[in-house]
Chain A
Amino acid sequence: MVAGAALVAAALTGPTVAKADTGSGPVGHAYVLPTAGRWTAERQRVYAALRRYLEAHREIPAFARKYGMKCSACHLAVPVLNQFGQAFKDNGYRMKNGTDDLRANEPAYWPLFAWLWKDYEVDVQRVGGRTVQERGGVSDGAFVLGGLGSIGDKVSFRFTPIIYEDGNTVVDHGWIRYNQAFGSDWVNIKVGSAEFDLPIYPGREYNMGASRFAVLYAYSVPGSVSRFSVLFPQPGVEIMGHDLGSRNRYSVNLFNTGGAPRAHCVLCSPGIFGRVTHRQEFATGFLRAVRAGVFGAYATWPVGPDTSDRKGQERLGGDVELWLGSDVLPLRATVMGITGRDDRALVPGATQDPKFNAGMLQLEYVPKLPLVFYSRLQMIRNQRQAISGTPGDFGDQDFQLVGVRHALELNSRFAWLLELTYWRWTIKHVAPGGANVTNHTLWLGTHLDF
């Protein structure tokens, strides 16, 4: 399987179109598009490699084969989870029907999976209302070969390294979980690098471009040296629990802030995250279900000459998710809010603790199984700047996104997805001279899930 996957990866990581300078300062036009011939050749090479791979490896014990479910059973639209998928995840990727132990399956399927994504992207950057950069081309391909699932009734795991085209490798997840401690669904213990329990996670987004990192949970106040955000996985211990069907849930994470100086030592940069959610379903009416959640986080980040002085960051937030019209083909509206405060010591030259508020409305509509429309409207507002005299709206952000995603193929072995997304992202007063910077991006991507 690894060899086969590497073959496909190699086919995808062919020569790409050169990018223009992505520096933030004003630059001249650098609009570079691939020729039709190059694009066609690359596409044909990808198709051919993929076809050979799939035809030769139909017996691969894929992730879905272990569980015998279609992708759409767990995903509202791949890869976003629905309630059944959320419960499956909460159960440690177990069906809990006595067949989760590898020894219970014959042959014993390993829950392996792979993702590939590749896109064509056009970016236009405008500063102070003037276009300063245009660029386009095939970019940002990545390959993921991971495993997640259960190897026994009590033990689950997830390991997801992402290999980007430029050579960067990121371990998106890497954890082992002990399920149902004391025989209860309310105590599950996870050790490793894991995502926080939030409505949005960048590894489970419709769009695999940069927009997935633009959500409010990733925000840092202007000038902050801290790289902490609740959006990204953090190394530590998670204790979570839920009732039957995951209608009531909680999670608590004790972590050592990832990426912090001296973060390699245990609890040099400690933090805590917690969230509770409740889902209420309705017997009649257009509103099918509501899920509400609240969370809080406190993280520290080392500062000072020897990075021994830890300074704190607080995050509080809530979210309400509405399922409208249908349980399986819904219009889903999610409202998210977050407020944050950082210690002034995290911003060089700061005179006061900075604060910010942010909110986002997300709409998703699934008219039929292989098709989903999605959109986002987000605002981030700095309530108090760290440095006195800074314009009050310096670094404020507005973000809008619309997209459509269609599954060309969706079965138990693989999903082949096509997505088209447009987003506009404005950051206020950050350009030289205090002008706003606005990026417009059109993204056409393809995504393969094995």
Chain B
Amino acid sequence: MSTAAVVSALMVGALALGTAPLPAQAGGGGVAGDAGRGRQVYERYCVQCHGARTDGAGEMARWSQPKPRDFRQGIYKFSSTRYGFLPTTADLDRVIQNGLYGTRMPPFAALSTRERRDVIAYLQTRSPRWRTDGPGTPIAIPDEPAPTREAVTRGRELFEANCSKCHGDGTGNGPSAVKGMVDDWGAAITPANLTLGRGKWARTARDIYVRAMAGINGTPMPESADVLTPDQVWQVAHYVQALGAWPGSTPELRKFAAELPPPGAGEPAPADTVKQ
């Protein structure tokens, strides 16, 4: 039997069962998830860490650092929306698909779009915030300017003025980090080591932009939307990108950034490093 015949037979069978093919990585096509089925998905894949009551107190929680989310609180760390707002469905889908690098949260890319959609629907029943507040609006992301030496230089200055208190020279060794930091749940937390070339959530300069702009809910990482202009945030993003082997960073800019004095070692940041 030829391949075409096999494919044709499958498609006919699928249509007979009322199905519609779906690209594996699609976002769900706007179809609402089924919270009941989502609970089944949750109990198979998530309960071990996030707990039977979705309170983040599953069996594996005590070996997990950072701790699993308590979905009853409606506080999600990684979101494309402004600090304090609930994430979009796409934000939750991204975390489920990609996981959170370096944490206990693995990537669930093998789950079908329907499974992911259903479990998100279930999670959205677990906090009253989803009914009262609803998801936030994703922050606007202007086109990325080309990373240049000037942008990296400027980004270093902005980083020193706004980020080095926690992130230090980029490795997460700032004064606040040395003293010790905790998140909103009282758990010890350390600033990201940005020289690793990969964050828990961020992979690209665009991701760094979103994180810098929106902050990380429930942690001391603030949003900078009120402090820096979009151009300035891009400069910070390009400087961070040049600190490590982030996707999209060039060896030339990494070498250039390495030759700059580390944040905290140079002159005090000029007054115009914050948005007027």
Contact = CB atoms under 8 A, between A and B. Distances in A.
B103 A97 contact: yes
Given A97-B102, A287-B19, A411-B59, A247 B24 contact: yes
Interface in B1-43: 6, 10, 13-14, 17-22, 24-26, 28-29, 31, 37, 40-41, 43
Contacts of A88: 110
Given A244-B109, A326-B37, A70 B44 contact: yes
Interface string B85-98: 00000000000000
B17 A286 contact: yes
B225 interface: no
Interface stretch (A79-87, A300-308, A400-408, A423-431): A79-87
Nearest to A87: B110
A289 B110 CA distance: 12
Nearest to A73: B45
B48 to A, nearest CB: 5
A281 B104 contact: no
Contacts of A87: 109-110
Interface string A271-302: 00000000111111111111010000000000
B113 A84 contact: no
Nearest to A327: B115
A70 B48 contact: yes
A284 B21 contact: no
A329 interface: yes
A382 to B, nearest CB: 22
Given A70-B47, A247-B24, A288-B114, A84 B19 contact: no
Contact of A292 (B6, B31, B63, B112): B6
B48 A69 contact: yes
B99 interface: yes
Contacts of B17: 285-287
A369 B20 contact: no
Q: Which of B19, B21, B31, B111 has the most CB of A within 10 A?
A: B19
A328 B115 contact: yes
A153 to B, nearest CB: 12
B110 A246 contact: yes
Interface string B103-131: 11111111111110000000000000000
Interface in B119-151: none
A253 interface: no
B21 A73 contact: no
A410 to B, nearest CB: 11
A124 B10 CA distance: 41
Given A73-B45, A287-B17, A97 B107 contact: yes
A283 B117 CA distance: 10
A96 interface: yes
B166 interface: no
A167 interface: no
A328 B41 contact: yes
Interface size classification for chain B: 35 or more
Contact of B19 (A69, A99, A247, A284): A284
Nearest to A325: B37
A87 B49 CA distance: 20
A286 B19 contact: yes
A281 B116 CA distance: 12
A284 B28 CA distance: 10
B44 A281 contact: no
A70 B104 CA distance: 13
B77 to A, nearest CB: 15
B49 A282 contact: no
Given A245-B24, A283-B114, A286-B19, A320 B105 contact: no
Nearest to A323: B112
Contact of A285 (B18, B60, B110): B18
Contact of B102 (A99, A318, A411, A412): A99
Contacts of A284: 18-20, 31
A98 interface: yes
A70 B112 CA distance: 19
A125 interface: no
Given A68-B48, A329-B40, A283 B113 contact: yes
A114 B48 CA distance: 21
A288 to B, nearest CB: 7
B23 to A, nearest CB: 9
A20 to B, nearest CB: 43
A160 interface: no
A276 to B, nearest CB: 10
A185 to B, nearest CB: 11
A97 B100 contact: yes
Given A68-B60, A84-B110, A244-B109, A327 B41 contact: yes
A282 B21 contact: yes
Given A280-B21, A281-B112, A95 B99 contact: yes
A72 interface: yes
A281 B109 CA distance: 13
B105 A281 contact: no
Contact of B110 (A70, A83, A283, A287): A83
A138 B172 CA distance: 61
A282 B26 CA distance: 11
B76 interface: no
A247 B17 CA distance: 21
A218 B55 CA distance: 48
Contacts of B71: none
A72 B64 contact: no
Interface in A243-272: 244-247
Contacts of A318: 6
Given A68-B60, A245-B110, A283-B19, 16 more contacts: A65-B63, A67-B106, A68-B49, A68-B63, A68-B104, A83-B112, A87-B110, A244-B109, A245-B111, A281-B113, A283-B20, A284-B31, A287-B13, A292-B10, A327-B115, A412-B59
Q: Which 6 A-B pairs have the closest CB atoms?
A: A285-B19, A87-B110, A282-B19, A95-B106, A285-B18, A283-B22
16 contacts: A69-B106, A95-B106, A97-B101, A245-B110, A282-B22, A282-B114, A283-B26, A283-B114, A284-B20, A285-B14, A286-B19, A290-B13, A327-B114, A327-B115, A329-B40, A412-B48
Interface of B: 6, 10, 13-14, 17-22, 24-26, 28-29, 31, 37, 40-41, 43-45, 47-49, 59-60, 63-64, 99-115, 198
Interface of A: 65, 67-70, 72-73, 83-84, 86-88, 95-99, 244-247, 279-290, 292, 318, 320, 326-329, 369, 411-412
